[in-house]
Amino acid sequence: MDAGKLHIIIMEVIMPNEKNLNTIPVGTLGLIPLESCASLGQKVNQYLTEWRAERSHAQSTALHFSEYSKDSYIVKAKNPRFGSGEAKGVIEESVRGCDLYLMVDVCNYSQTYSLCGYVNHMSPDDHYQDLKRIIAAVEGKARRINVIMPFLYESRQHKRSGRESLDCALGLQELVRMGVDNIITFDAHDPRVQNAIPLNGFETIRPTYQFVKGLLKHVPDLQIDADHMMAISPDEGATGRAIYFANVLGLDMGMFYKRRDYTTIVDGRNPIVAHEFLGSSVEGKDVIILDDMISSGDSILDVARQLKMRKAKRIYAAATFGLFTNGMEKFDQAYEEGLISGILTTNLIYQTPELLSRPYYINCDMSKYIALVIDTLNHDASISSILDPSERIQNVVEKYKKGEAID
């Protein structure tokens, strides 16, 4: 094939509703969702197969695009365990020359294994070890290894206080030493942890667009302006999220800061004594509290109470990761009392059936977004426009204000 025809073929590789992907793929696309991430991986795979099937006619004869369109991009892999509880990584098909994307949910405690007659629920440590086993099973034969770890392993241990380990930094360095080229995570607890691997790819992505879309889709009567709505940061660490959300929607922003008792340690942390508010009045306004995670939920609910005391109208809480470590009872009670009107989290980590059944819960699906990132990176194209959702947010708000359906 001459260079002119190849150029035409490459230029016709079009990303649905996004942009031209006019570069040759890094390698044959391979997706390895570990068992902890199987459901999300299947959804991502479905988007990829549909998009690439639409393009297949244009590049089907080009050598560079062999195996570009497939029925599935999922590479069969597993982590069987011995009776002793030890495990191994097994890849059941060739990955030589592939551009691999490994997906793992380190928070999926629903996964279990048997040990000496006991059923053990898998911890983040177990999932992280399984990830390393699959990387080791690749045996260096892949063209490139990318890890998609939505909840960054040990991200809450991102800094040292006294004689402590720096587990997040160590984990990142270990993955890089094993041959991982890029690490993609979402809403890292502290993005500065990427300083541990300054010469490798590290992306932390915030699902702001998905939160806006989810809220507008489920709440039909929002007035999106500074007089009727406000973005709230529950603490100083989440201020950046609230500032961006407020700026892109043209809202006011307020924040709380936590006063802690540094003489006491409870569950490994200094307990919060009070939340103090900084910002303009919230009286009569709908507010949305933005954070990276809901763990026990005590902080979010305390902030909601403080906002209700200041006569806020409706209160929504949006967090990338909904851990709900102490169950849903306190949130049920808060909803029944009118303290909160809705909670938004993503499907980036395991969601219990109980959570999905709650009438106040809004699930923000991230599978299409992850597929878009993978599709673009596989073409070795820039993801800058994908990481900045400002234009997409403006478009969906415009549709909402016109009364059009949000799909």
Summarize pLDDT for 300-319 with one digit per residue, the tens: 999 999 999 999 999 999 99
If you ran DSSP here, which 8-state letter would residue 291 be given?
A: E
The CA distance from 332 to 298, in Å, is 13
pLDDT, residue 268, reads: 72
Residue 242 has pLDDT above 50, yes or no: yes
Q: What is the mean pLDDT of residues 63-81?
A: 89
Q: Are 238 and 201 in contact (CB under 8 A)?
A: no
pLDDT, residue 358, reads: 97
Could you tell me how far CA 187 lies from the centroid of its own chain? 7
Q: Are 131 and 34 in contact (CB under 8 A)?
A: yes
Q: What is the mean pLDDT of residues 119-143?
A: 96
pLDDT, residue 61, reads: 60
pLDDT, residue 21, reads: 67
- Domains defined for the chain, CATH in brackets: 3-205+368-386 (3.40.50.2020), 208-365 (3.40.50.2020)
Least confident interval from 254-258, 272-276, 376-380, 384-388: 272-276
Residue 335 has pLDDT above 50, yes or no: yes
Q: What percent of the chain has pLDDT over 70?
A: 92
Q: What is the mean pLDDT of residues 120-131?
A: 96
Token reading at 239: 């201020």
pLDDT, residue 63, reads: 65
The CA distance from 88 to 282, in Å, is 54
Query: ∠ CA 310-362-323 to the nearest 5 degrees?
Result: 85
CA dist 76 to 14, 38, 72, Å? 28, 11, 10
Q: Are 294 and 345 in contact (CB under 8 A)?
A: yes
The CA distance from 396 to 84, in Å, is 53
pLDDT, residue 339, reads: 97
The CA distance from 345 to 37, in Å, is 16
**Which candidate, 185, 183, 156, 158, places its Cα nearest to that of 169?**
158
Question: Could you report how far apart the first and last alpha carbons of the chain are, in Å?
Answer: 42
pLDDT, residue 15, reads: 42
> What residues contact 60, with CB distance under 8 A and at least 6 apart?
68, 69
Please provide the DSSP assignment of 196-238 as one string: GSTTSEEEEE--HHHHHHHHHHH-TT---STTTEEEEESSGGG
Residue 348 has pLDDT above 60, yes or no: yes
Query: ∠ CA 382-387-390 to the nearest 5 degrees?
Result: 125
Residue 179 has pLDDT above 60, yes or no: yes
**Which candidate, 10, 25, 119, places its Cα nearest to that of 374?**
25
Q: Which residue has the tokens 């490798």?
A: 200
Q: What is the mean pLDDT of the chain?
A: 90
pLDDT, residue 10, reads: 34
pLDDT, residue 48, reads: 96
Q: Are 362 and 342 in contact (CB under 8 A)?
A: yes
Q: What is the mean pLDDT of residues 348-358?
A: 97
